[in-house]
Structure 1
Amino acid sequence: MPPAANSTLGDRLQALVKGPQFVWWLGHVTMLVCTAFYLPYWATFNYKAGAHWYTRAFFGALVSYSVVVYKSFPEIQFTAQFAHQLFAEENVQYLLMAIFWWRSTPMLAPLVPYAIFAFFNSLNYTRTNILPALFPTPPAGATDPTAAQVANISRKIQAWTEKNHATAMAFVAYIEVVGVMGSLIFGAITFQSSFLSPIVYANFLRFRYFFSLHTRAAFALIRARLDNLIVPPGGNPKIPPIVAQGYTMARGAITRFGQAAVQQPPAGSSARQ
């Protein structure tokens, strides 16, 4: 509900900061700011020196996703059905992965999806909550040039987010499948990260495959490109047959792993808040 135009600025800000949604917004802003501070360290290959910004970024993600999960599951039930419902919830999966990344070796790729989610969520909260608190709608019949400008900015933000949201989510899915998993595999091979990390993340991607159209599209795109490159008769003739056979076996193993039964979440569950 928009704040009353006749209320004071102090009252409006007090009402704004009291809600858990404001803490959720602060978590997203923390993720964005700390990611921005981490980027120069990553760009100069000074990963260890910037590790504190990496952990602070994921701490912000922990705060945001904890608020969403708490609002979705305010009462804990010690039943198998509740546990299954809990772990099938997308926000719980992202919260668990945020905990995992928070304690992992700093990498840029895992930050990217969370930062994109944080950008869209914090932008929408700014439009729907912060701007109205700072510049409330004037009473009917009253004119306020500042309020009109703010309303125009709000409409532009809404139009931009609605136009670019699907593209951003498709990009996130591709980064999750290629960028993050590729970084984990490379880190495991070069002994820079744990060999268990790709296994843990593979289970996360299995859930994402079932729950996200964008993730399924990303997998389909990657498979089509690799098939065209490797699998005969359309594959590159310079690729040895043993490589094609190995790829086919790996593809089959990944498909069987991904087809393991995962129950869909109940209708109306929130996703990546």
Structure 2
Amino acid sequence: MPAAHPPLGDRLLTLVKGPQFAWWLGHITMLLCTAFYLPYWLTFNYKAGAHWYTRAFLGALVSYSVVVYKSFPQVQFTSQFAQQLLAEENVQYLLMAIFWWRSTPMLTPLIPYAIFAFFNALNYTRTNILPAIFPPPPAGITDPTATRVTAISRKIQVWTEKNHASAMALVAYVEVVGVMGSLIIGAITFQSSLLSPVVYANFLRFRYFFSLHTRTAFALIRARLDSLITPSGGNPKIPPVVVQAYVAVRGAITRFGQAAVQQPAASARTQ
């Protein structure tokens, strides 16, 4: 006779004891608090919704702390370990989550984390939560509920695999254009710290070297701006001083991105 599954309570207890469950809860917290913050942002009532903003990034801190701890269980006080630590993309996002957590609330920094959280939470639900609640039946036994759950899991898997690449490309564009643009505008209007664009520029510099999607976003944005501003773009209405300023800024950004960061030999791990 096939062995029966443990009781539901035991299965759920085993699930919640694992660190990955805390990781999942962090992602769920990020998603829910971002959704609760959105109405405040839409009504320009940023300060009133600041508590949802900070709670969202508290969720991100939990999730990324779990990942970083699992990736680096033993801390070493060496320069090589520090370089390895900073080259890990989850460490970069953890450090930025700490920065955003203590920063002036904005919507754009939440978007990349919410997209990551959505895909990660969905996959964990498919691979861990659904099997814990609806375990597969023993061999040779047909269970309509288990069949429906299997079909749902398969649909989730197909959807996430189909849309993951486009979602990561969207994250890159939001990070390069949306977040940095918001920080620059905020600094100019004194709505956010003048230091914020500098801190975030260093984050983007790492992302450029460690993320193909970020490099693609920068390349497409540069090509678009070149076509609009430079003489080769065929727009004679642009004053020469504007072209010169654009070329100077473009060169400065390029030199900044190339300084002090070495491109890794292998691609970094995905989220």
User: TM-score by structure 2 length?
Assistant: 0.97
- Structure 1 residue aligned with 2:197: 198
Where do residues 34-49 of structure 1 align in structure 2 (5 Å cutoff)? Answer: 34-49=33-48
Give 1:155 deviation, angstroms.
Answer: 0.1
CA distance in 2, matches of 1:126, 1:49: 32
Contact 2:211 2:267 in 1 (8 A): no
Cα distance per residue 1:115-171 (max 9 Å; x no partner) = 000000000000000000000010000010000000000000000000000000000
CA distance in 2, matches of 1:268, 1:258: 18
CA distance in 1, matches of 2:269, 2:22: 18
Contact 2:210 2:267 in 1 (8 A): no
Give 1:262 deviation, angstroms.
Answer: 2.1
CA distance in 2, matches of 1:269, 1:171: 18
Give 1:235 deviation, angstroms.
Answer: 4.0
Give the 3-state SS of the residue equivalent to 1:11 in structure 2: helix
Q: Structure 1 counterpart of 2:136, which letter?
A: T
- Structure 2 residue aligned with 1:217: 216
Where do residues 66-81 of structure 1 align in structure 2 (5 Å cutoff)? Answer: 66-81=65-80
Q: Which runs of 5+ in 2 are unaligned?
A: none
Where do residues 180-195 of structure 1 align in structure 2 (5 Å cutoff)? Answer: 180-195=179-194
Pick 1 or 2: higher relative contact order, CA cutoff 8 A, min separation 6: 1
Contact 2:27 2:118 in 1 (8 A): yes
Corresponding position: 1:101 with 2:100: yes
CA distance in 1, matches of 2:264, 2:47: 39
Give 1:266 deviation, angstroms.
Answer: 7.6
Give 1:271 deviation, angstroms.
Answer: 3.3
CA distance in 2, matches of 1:31, 1:127: 19
- Structure 2 residue aligned with 1:168: 167
Q: Which runs of 5+ in 1 are unaligned?
A: none
- Structure 2 residue aligned with 1:53: 52
Give 1:265 deviation, angstroms.
Answer: 5.4
Give 1:230 deviation, angstroms.
Answer: 0.3
CA distance in 1, matches of 2:87, 2:74: 16
CA distance in 2, matches of 1:58, 1:160: 26
Give 1:268 deviation, angstroms.
Answer: 8.1
- Structure 2 residue aligned with 1:154: 153
> Percent of counterpart pairs with the same letter?
82
Q: 1:192 to 1:268 in 2, by over 3 A?
A: closer
Give 1:233 deviation, angstroms.
Answer: 3.3
CA distance in 1, matches of 2:24, 2:252: 41
RMSD: 1.3
User: TM-score by structure 1 length?
Assistant: 0.96
Give 1:260 deviation, angstroms.
Answer: 1.8
- Structure 2 residue aligned with 1:117: 116
- Structure 2 residue aligned with 1:246: 245
Cα distance per residue 1:34-58 (max 9 Å; x no partner) = 0000000000000000000000000
Contact 1:62 1:98 in 2 (8 A): yes
Detail structure 1 runs of 4+ shifted over 4 Å in the superposition.
264-269
Q: Structure 1 counterpart of 2:177, which letter?
A: V
Q: 1:264 to 1:10 in 2, by over 3 A?
A: farther
Corresponding position: 1:62 with 2:78: no
Q: Structure 1 counterpart of 2:54, which letter?
A: T
CA distance in 1, matches of 2:42, 2:150: 38
Aligned length: 269
Q: 1:5 to 1:161 in 2, by over 3 A?
A: farther
- Structure 1 residue aligned with 2:18: 19
